[in-house]
Amino acid sequence: MVSSSATAPRSGVYYFSQGWKLIRLPGIRRFVILPLLVNIVLMGSAFWWLFTQLDNWIPSLMSRVPDWLQWLSYLLWPVAIISVLLVFGYFFSTLANWIAAPFSGLLAEQLEARLTGATPPDVGIFGIMKDIPRILKREWQKLAWYLPRAVVLLILYFIPGIGQTVAPVLWFLFSAWMMAIQYCDYPFDNHKVPFATMRESLRTRKSINMQFGALTSLFTMIPVLNLVILPVAICGATAMWVDCYRDKHATWK
Protein backbone atom coordinates (compact mmCIF):
# COMPACT_ATOMS: atom_id res chain seq x y z
CA MET A 1 0.00 0.00 0.00
CA VAL A 2 1.32 3.43 -0.90
CA SER A 3 -0.34 6.54 0.42
CA SER A 4 0.07 10.09 -0.75
CA SER A 5 -0.26 13.47 0.89
CA ALA A 6 -2.52 14.45 -2.00
CA THR A 7 -5.06 11.89 -0.91
CA ALA A 8 -8.25 13.37 0.53
CA PRO A 9 -8.49 12.76 4.30
CA ARG A 10 -10.86 10.00 5.35
CA SER A 11 -12.54 9.28 8.68
CA GLY A 12 -10.79 8.40 11.91
CA VAL A 13 -12.36 4.94 11.61
CA TYR A 14 -10.59 4.48 8.27
CA TYR A 15 -7.18 5.43 9.66
CA PHE A 16 -7.63 3.18 12.70
CA SER A 17 -8.51 0.24 10.44
CA GLN A 18 -5.49 1.03 8.25
CA GLY A 19 -3.25 0.64 11.28
CA TRP A 20 -4.11 -3.06 11.46
CA LYS A 21 -3.07 -3.50 7.83
CA LEU A 22 0.06 -1.38 7.94
CA ILE A 23 1.70 -3.28 10.81
CA ARG A 24 1.86 -6.29 8.49
CA LEU A 25 3.66 -4.54 5.63
CA PRO A 26 6.90 -6.29 4.57
CA GLY A 27 9.83 -4.21 5.77
CA ILE A 28 7.71 -2.55 8.45
CA ARG A 29 7.09 -5.61 10.61
CA ARG A 30 10.61 -5.53 12.08
CA PHE A 31 10.02 -1.97 13.36
CA VAL A 32 6.77 -3.13 15.00
CA ILE A 33 8.47 -5.77 17.18
CA LEU A 34 10.05 -3.62 19.91
CA PRO A 35 7.05 -1.34 20.68
CA LEU A 36 4.87 -4.45 20.47
CA LEU A 37 6.98 -6.32 23.03
CA VAL A 38 6.96 -3.35 25.43
CA ASN A 39 3.18 -3.13 25.20
CA ILE A 40 2.63 -6.89 25.61
CA VAL A 41 4.78 -7.12 28.74
CA LEU A 42 3.46 -3.97 30.42
CA MET A 43 -0.21 -4.05 29.43
CA GLY A 44 -0.46 -7.82 29.86
CA SER A 45 0.92 -7.68 33.41
CA ALA A 46 -1.10 -4.59 34.33
CA PHE A 47 -4.45 -5.94 33.16
CA TRP A 48 -3.85 -9.33 34.75
CA TRP A 49 -3.32 -7.54 38.07
CA LEU A 50 -6.34 -5.27 37.49
CA PHE A 51 -8.75 -8.16 36.98
CA THR A 52 -7.60 -9.68 40.28
CA GLN A 53 -8.54 -6.41 42.03
CA LEU A 54 -11.88 -5.55 40.42
CA ASP A 55 -13.89 -7.53 42.99
CA ASN A 56 -12.63 -5.13 45.67
CA TRP A 57 -12.55 -1.87 43.74
CA ILE A 58 -15.99 -1.90 42.13
CA PRO A 59 -18.01 -2.44 45.36
CA SER A 60 -15.97 0.33 46.99
CA LEU A 61 -16.74 2.68 44.11
CA MET A 62 -20.43 1.76 44.12
CA SER A 63 -20.66 2.43 47.86
CA ARG A 64 -20.28 6.12 47.04
CA VAL A 65 -23.54 6.16 45.12
CA PRO A 66 -26.18 8.04 47.19
CA ASP A 67 -29.30 6.22 48.35
CA TRP A 68 -31.57 8.11 45.97
CA LEU A 69 -29.63 6.67 43.02
CA GLN A 70 -29.54 3.07 44.23
CA TRP A 71 -32.37 2.17 41.88
CA LEU A 72 -29.92 2.87 39.02
CA SER A 73 -27.28 0.52 40.40
CA TYR A 74 -27.86 -2.05 37.66
CA LEU A 75 -26.82 0.64 35.14
CA LEU A 76 -24.09 2.25 37.23
CA TRP A 77 -22.30 -1.05 37.86
CA PRO A 78 -21.16 -1.53 34.23
CA VAL A 79 -20.41 2.22 34.03
CA ALA A 80 -18.13 1.84 37.06
CA ILE A 81 -16.31 -1.10 35.45
CA ILE A 82 -15.85 0.79 32.17
CA SER A 83 -14.59 3.83 34.10
CA VAL A 84 -11.94 1.78 35.89
CA LEU A 85 -10.87 0.16 32.61
CA LEU A 86 -10.64 3.55 30.89
CA VAL A 87 -8.54 5.16 33.63
CA PHE A 88 -6.36 2.09 34.07
CA GLY A 89 -5.96 1.51 30.34
CA TYR A 90 -4.94 5.08 29.64
CA PHE A 91 -2.48 5.18 32.56
CA PHE A 92 -0.61 2.05 31.50
CA SER A 93 -0.75 2.83 27.79
CA THR A 94 0.89 6.17 28.65
CA LEU A 95 3.58 4.36 30.63
CA ALA A 96 4.15 1.96 27.73
CA ASN A 97 4.42 4.91 25.37
CA TRP A 98 7.13 6.47 27.53
CA ILE A 99 9.21 3.30 27.54
CA ALA A 100 8.70 2.56 23.83
CA ALA A 101 8.87 6.19 22.63
CA PRO A 102 12.20 5.97 20.74
CA PHE A 103 11.10 2.80 18.92
CA SER A 104 7.63 4.22 18.28
CA GLY A 105 9.15 7.28 16.63
CA LEU A 106 11.32 5.02 14.48
CA LEU A 107 8.27 2.98 13.43
CA ALA A 108 6.41 6.16 12.43
CA GLU A 109 9.45 7.43 10.54
CA GLN A 110 9.99 4.22 8.59
CA LEU A 111 6.30 3.82 7.78
CA GLU A 112 6.10 7.42 6.54
CA ALA A 113 9.11 6.78 4.31
CA ARG A 114 7.43 3.65 2.97
CA LEU A 115 4.11 5.40 2.28
CA THR A 116 5.62 8.47 0.62
CA GLY A 117 8.91 7.31 -0.89
CA ALA A 118 10.72 10.03 1.10
CA THR A 119 14.12 9.50 2.72
CA PRO A 120 14.24 10.15 6.50
CA PRO A 121 17.29 12.05 7.81
CA ASP A 122 18.42 9.39 10.31
CA VAL A 123 18.01 5.63 10.23
CA GLY A 124 19.01 2.96 12.72
CA ILE A 125 20.18 2.70 16.30
CA PHE A 126 22.50 5.75 16.20
CA GLY A 127 19.67 7.96 15.03
CA ILE A 128 17.54 6.64 17.90
CA MET A 129 20.24 7.26 20.52
CA LYS A 130 20.82 10.81 19.32
CA ASP A 131 17.12 11.64 19.50
CA ILE A 132 16.33 10.05 22.90
CA PRO A 133 16.68 13.30 24.97
CA ARG A 134 14.40 15.19 22.57
CA ILE A 135 11.88 12.34 22.44
CA LEU A 136 11.70 12.05 26.24
CA LYS A 137 11.31 15.83 26.55
CA ARG A 138 8.38 15.61 24.14
CA GLU A 139 6.79 12.82 26.21
CA TRP A 140 7.13 15.03 29.27
CA GLN A 141 5.37 17.89 27.44
CA LYS A 142 2.45 15.59 26.71
CA LEU A 143 2.32 14.40 30.32
CA ALA A 144 2.49 17.97 31.68
CA TRP A 145 -0.44 18.96 29.44
CA TYR A 146 -2.43 15.86 30.35
CA LEU A 147 -2.01 15.56 34.13
CA PRO A 148 -3.80 18.73 35.39
CA ARG A 149 -6.82 17.96 33.21
CA ALA A 150 -6.86 14.31 34.24
CA VAL A 151 -6.72 15.23 37.95
CA VAL A 152 -9.77 17.48 37.60
CA LEU A 153 -11.73 14.68 35.93
CA LEU A 154 -10.64 12.12 38.52
CA ILE A 155 -11.86 14.42 41.31
CA LEU A 156 -15.31 14.37 39.68
CA TYR A 157 -15.49 10.62 40.31
CA PHE A 158 -15.66 11.28 44.06
CA ILE A 159 -18.70 13.57 43.81
CA PRO A 160 -21.73 11.42 44.70
CA GLY A 161 -24.18 10.97 41.83
CA ILE A 162 -22.41 13.22 39.35
CA GLY A 163 -19.18 11.27 39.67
CA GLN A 164 -20.76 7.98 38.62
CA THR A 165 -22.80 9.43 35.74
CA VAL A 166 -21.10 12.45 34.15
CA ALA A 167 -17.43 11.74 34.91
CA PRO A 168 -17.18 8.50 32.85
CA VAL A 169 -18.51 10.27 29.75
CA LEU A 170 -16.14 13.22 30.18
CA TRP A 171 -13.24 10.86 30.84
CA PHE A 172 -13.95 8.89 27.68
CA LEU A 173 -14.05 12.05 25.55
CA PHE A 174 -10.87 13.32 27.16
CA SER A 175 -9.15 9.96 26.68
CA ALA A 176 -10.14 9.92 23.01
CA TRP A 177 -8.56 13.33 22.47
CA MET A 178 -5.44 12.37 24.42
CA MET A 179 -5.03 9.14 22.43
CA ALA A 180 -5.16 11.17 19.22
CA ILE A 181 -2.53 13.55 20.60
CA GLN A 182 -0.35 10.71 21.87
CA TYR A 183 -0.13 8.75 18.65
CA CYS A 184 -0.34 11.54 16.08
CA ASP A 185 2.52 13.24 17.87
CA TYR A 186 5.08 10.64 16.73
CA PRO A 187 5.12 11.68 13.05
CA PHE A 188 4.76 15.37 14.01
CA ASP A 189 7.72 15.09 16.37
CA ASN A 190 9.81 13.32 13.74
CA HIS A 191 9.56 16.58 11.78
CA LYS A 192 10.31 18.72 14.87
CA VAL A 193 6.84 20.31 14.82
CA PRO A 194 6.32 22.08 18.21
CA PHE A 195 3.84 20.45 20.57
CA ALA A 196 1.50 23.47 20.62
CA THR A 197 1.51 23.65 16.82
CA MET A 198 0.71 19.96 16.63
CA ARG A 199 -2.32 20.38 18.92
CA GLU A 200 -3.58 23.30 16.84
CA SER A 201 -3.26 21.22 13.68
CA LEU A 202 -5.20 18.33 15.21
CA ARG A 203 -7.99 20.70 16.21
CA THR A 204 -8.51 21.64 12.55
CA ARG A 205 -9.67 18.05 11.98
CA LYS A 206 -11.09 17.36 15.41
CA SER A 207 -13.85 15.01 14.24
CA ILE A 208 -11.39 12.67 12.50
CA ASN A 209 -9.05 12.69 15.49
CA MET A 210 -11.82 12.10 18.02
CA GLN A 211 -13.03 9.08 16.03
CA PHE A 212 -9.49 7.72 15.85
CA GLY A 213 -8.83 8.39 19.55
CA ALA A 214 -12.16 6.92 20.66
CA LEU A 215 -11.48 3.64 18.87
CA THR A 216 -7.97 3.52 20.31
CA SER A 217 -9.38 4.10 23.82
CA LEU A 218 -11.94 1.34 23.38
CA PHE A 219 -9.33 -1.15 22.21
CA THR A 220 -7.10 -0.42 25.21
CA MET A 221 -9.91 -1.91 27.34
CA ILE A 222 -10.24 -5.16 25.38
CA PRO A 223 -8.03 -7.98 26.66
CA VAL A 224 -5.60 -9.47 24.10
CA LEU A 225 -6.38 -6.79 21.50
CA ASN A 226 -4.98 -4.12 23.83
CA LEU A 227 -1.63 -5.90 23.69
CA VAL A 228 -1.10 -4.90 20.05
CA ILE A 229 -2.82 -1.52 20.05
CA LEU A 230 0.37 0.55 20.43
CA PRO A 231 1.93 -0.23 17.01
CA VAL A 232 -1.52 -0.32 15.38
CA ALA A 233 -2.30 3.20 16.61
CA ILE A 234 1.14 4.49 15.57
CA CYS A 235 0.67 3.15 12.05
CA GLY A 236 -2.88 4.50 11.76
CA ALA A 237 -1.81 7.92 13.05
CA THR A 238 1.13 7.99 10.62
CA ALA A 239 -1.20 7.27 7.71
CA MET A 240 -3.37 10.18 8.92
CA TRP A 241 -0.30 12.43 9.11
CA VAL A 242 0.63 11.57 5.52
CA ASP A 243 -2.85 12.34 4.19
CA CYS A 244 -3.81 15.32 6.35
CA TYR A 245 -0.77 17.16 7.70
CA ARG A 246 2.42 16.27 5.86
CA ASP A 247 2.08 18.79 3.04
CA LYS A 248 2.08 21.67 5.51
CA HIS A 249 4.51 20.47 8.20
CA ALA A 250 7.04 18.05 6.66
CA THR A 251 10.72 18.98 7.02
CA TRP A 252 12.00 16.12 4.86
CA LYS A 253 10.54 15.05 1.53
d(CA 125, CA 115): 22
Q: Contact 31/23 with Cβ under 8 angstroms? A: no
- In the three-class reduction of DSSP (H, G, I as helix; E, B as strand; rest coil), residue 203 is classed as helix
63 burial type by CB count under 10 A (0-12 exposed, 13-18 middle, 19+ buried): exposed
d(CA 121, CA 127): 9
Distance of CA 187 to the CA centre of its chain: 13
Phi, psi dihedrals of residue 34, rounded to the nearest 5°: -65, -50
d(CA 36, CA 69): 43
Q: Contact 237/23 with Cβ under 8 angstroms? A: no
pTM of the model: 0.79
Amino acid at 180: A
d(CA 253, CA 248): 11
d(CA 75, CA 246): 44
d(CA 82, CA 221): 8
> pLDDT per position in the chain (253 positions), as tens?
444 444 566 899 999 999 999 999 998 988 898 888 887 887 777 777 776 766 665 566 656 656 655 555 555 556 666 666 666 666 767 777 777 888 888 899 999 999 999 888 765 566 667 777 888 889 889 989 988 998 888 888 777 767 667 878 888 899 899 999 999 999 999 999 999 999 999 999 999 999 999 999 888 878 778 788 889 999 999 999 999 999 999 988 7
